[in-house]
Structure 1
Amino acid sequence: MLIELAQNKTDEATRRLGQLQRAKLSAAEKLDMLVQYRQEYYDQLQSQMQNGLSSSRWRNFQHFIGTLDGAIEQQRAIAAQADTRLARGRSDWQDHKRRLNSFDTLAERVKLQQAQIVNKREQRASDEHAARQFRLRMIAAAE
């Protein structure tokens, strides 16, 4: 029963770990996308500046890049949180796996001890049977 409970908890931790890995990957992809989009937008600003740019357009570009920078910082924080959660989830999974392995090891030891006890009983019964047979032959030979 303990092994089954530990197995269920390990399975649950495995599922959570998969979800955390997907969340980390998603956060990293969004961060990469925002950084790439910012770079493309900045390159576009540089190109338009060479051809001349009105002050209102310049302010709009600056404002939008500032907004993108804020979004990038938020996404970096989200990605960092996802990394932290993944590390905790991995540690949790390892703890559950270690506990399951310990229970498995203990169960194997108990099975081995029980098998040794059964083997000793069978050997004792076999020895007693052989001794009885020997005594019966000795009695029969003496008669």
Structure 2
Amino acid sequence: MANTLPLAMLIELAQNKTDDATRRLGQLQRAQIGAAEKLALLIQYRQEYVDRLQAKMQEGVPSSHWRNFQNFIGTLDGAIEQQRAVVAQAEARLNHGRSDWQHSKRRLNSFDTLADRVRQQAALALGKREQRDSDEHAARQFQLRAQALTR
């Protein structure tokens, strides 16, 4: 039993670490999804703005509006590129978090496998001990009967 206590502690620690890694992975997934959604919104907004300008250009657009449009599209393009970088960073963090979680899960599974082996060995040892005790008891009973018959 003294050997299983440290193993139980290791399993508990590994379980806690796996739980923490799972929570972090969930947070990283939500952050990545949020960043990707924001990027999609920026791209959609840019496309809608371009579509509106094209519709207005058919009516005629003053040059000042055209310059404002170009400046605004440039600003949107800059924001889109920045958001693409944010998405790439979020994906990298997500991949790292996924790797951490997998490592934690493998470690926990290793400890669980080891604990199963310890339990199997203990059960086997107990079975052998019970069989030995039963054999000894039967041998004593046999000796007692043999002695009783010889008297």
Whether 1:138 aligns to 2:142 is: no
Map of 1:106 onto structure 2: 114
Show the counterpart of 2:134. 126
1:7 and 2:15 correspond: yes
Q: What letter matches 2:17 in structure 1?
A: K
The TM-score, its normalising length taken from structure 2, stands at: 0.93
Q: Which residue in 1 is equivalent to 2:76?
A: 68
Q: What SS class does the counterpart of residue 2 from structure 1 fall into?
A: helix
* Structure 2: unaligned runs, 5 residues or longer: 1-8
Which residue in the other structure is 2:25 paired with? 17
Structure 1: tracts of 5 or more residues without a match:
none
Instruction: Indicate whether 1:38 and 2:61 are aligned.
Output: no
Q: Which runs of 4+ in 1 moved over 3 A?
A: none
Counting aligned pairs with the same residue, the percent is 73
Partner residue in 2 for 1:26: 34
Q: What is the Cα deviation at residue 106 of structure 1? A: 0.2
CA distance in 2, matches of 1:113, 1:57: 82
Between the aligned partners of 2:48 and 2:137, the Cα distance in structure 1 is 91
TM-score (norm 1): 0.98
1:52 is aligned, of 37, 48, 60, to 60
RMSD: 0.6
What number of residue pairs does the alignment pair up? 143
CA apart distance, 1:96? 0.1
Q: Distance in 1 between matches of 2:136 and 2:60?
A: 109
Distance in 2 of aligned mates of 1:118 and 1:35: 68
2:105 to 94, 97, 102: 97
